[in-house]
């Protein structure tokens, strides 16, 4: 399924990251020391839920991916998925990142190479408040198999360039299992 990027049309409307998350994205190219640092920043954020929900947009045709902020160090994306919508199997062009399920649930399938084919290694269902961690070599697919819309917040460093889709080399995945407590974010208040 194709994605729709709304980067251009949102430039004047998107609030700054400090208002949105309670902190500003670092600026310098080497300002993000590790993936762990990135995960902790998103995990410990105090999002303005009202502000965030005002940015949610769904599209019947494809999932909507909005760049909320981008510096030399990292980028922040909001992705809105209608039921049945999902990404292609993809890598992240060497970037690493973390995704926070803001609303709904998403299935994540991770793939490993077996010769020239990608085989599903792990399939997990992430629910509201869960974090999904994407290493620089992660190849995965994210899909909303639920009956309601899902919203996810993604933080990547460095900003993503040259994502590769792999759908033609893929063997399809089995049913997902829950992400579980080990990767659970703290409970949201309210
Ligand atoms: Fe991804």
CATH of the domain at 48: 2.60.120.10
> Per-residue DSSP letters for 73-126?
S-EEEEEEE-TT-BPPSB--TT-EEEEEEEESEEEEEEEEEETTEEEEEEEEEE
Residue 132 lies in a domain: yes
pTM of the model: 0.84
How far, in Å, from the CA of 138 to the mean position of ligand 1?
A: 8
Residue-number span of the structural domain to which 137 is assigned:
32-185
Q: What is the pLDDT along the chain (190 residues), one digit of tens a residue?
A: 444 444 444 444 567 899 999 999 999 888 999 999 999 999 999 889 899 999 999 999 999 999 999 999 999 999 999 999 999 999 999 999 999 999 999 999 999 999 989 999 999 999 999 999 999 999 999 999 999 999 999 999 999 988 899 987 888 777 787 876 445 554 444 3
In sign, the C-alpha dihedral spanning 126, 132, 137, 142 is: positive
What's the structural domain count of the chain?
A: 1
Q: Is the peptide bond before 142 cis (omega within 30 degrees of 0)?
A: no
Residue 81 lies in a domain: yes
Q: Known binder of ligand: residue 92?
A: yes
**CA pair distance 159, 92, nearest whole angstrom:** 9
Residue 18 lies in a domain: no
Name which of 162, 105, 166, 113 is nearest 141 in CA terms.
Answer: 166
Residue 20 lies in a domain: no
Residues ≥6 apart with Cβ < 8 Å to 129:
100, 101, 184, 185, 186, 187, 188
Residue 13 lies in a domain: no
Q: Known binder of ligand: residue 140?
A: yes
How far, in Å, from the CA of 91 to the mean position of ligand 1?
A: 6
How far, in Å, from the CA of 2 to the mean position of ligand 1?
A: 14
Residue 10 lies in a domain: no
Residue 36 lies in a domain: yes
Residue 92 lies in a domain: yes
């Amino acid at each position: 399924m194709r994605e729709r990027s709304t980067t251009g049309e949102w430039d004047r409307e998107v609030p700054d990251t400090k208002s949105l998350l309670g902190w500003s994205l670092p600026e310098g190219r080497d300002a993000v020391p590790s993936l762990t640092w990135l995960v902790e920043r998103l995990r410990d954020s105090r999002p303005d839920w009202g502000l965030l929900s005002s940015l949610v947009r769904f599209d019947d045709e494809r999932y909507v991916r909005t760049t909320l902020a981008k510096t030399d160090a990292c980028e922040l994306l909001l992705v809105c998925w209608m039921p049945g919508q999902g990404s292609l199997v993809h890598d992240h062009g060497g970037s690493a990142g973390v995704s926070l399920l803001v609303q709904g649930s998403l299935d994540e399938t991770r793939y490993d190479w077996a010769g020239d084919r990608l085989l599903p290694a792990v399939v997990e269902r992430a629910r509201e408040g869960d974090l999904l961690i994407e290493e620089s070599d992660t190849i995965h697919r994210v899909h909303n198999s639920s009956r309601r819309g899902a919203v996810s917040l993604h933080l990547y460093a460095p900003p993503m360039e040259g994502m590769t889709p792999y759908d033609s080399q893929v063997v399809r995945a089995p049913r997902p299992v829950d992400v579980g407590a080990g990767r659970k974010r703290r409970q949201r208040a309210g």
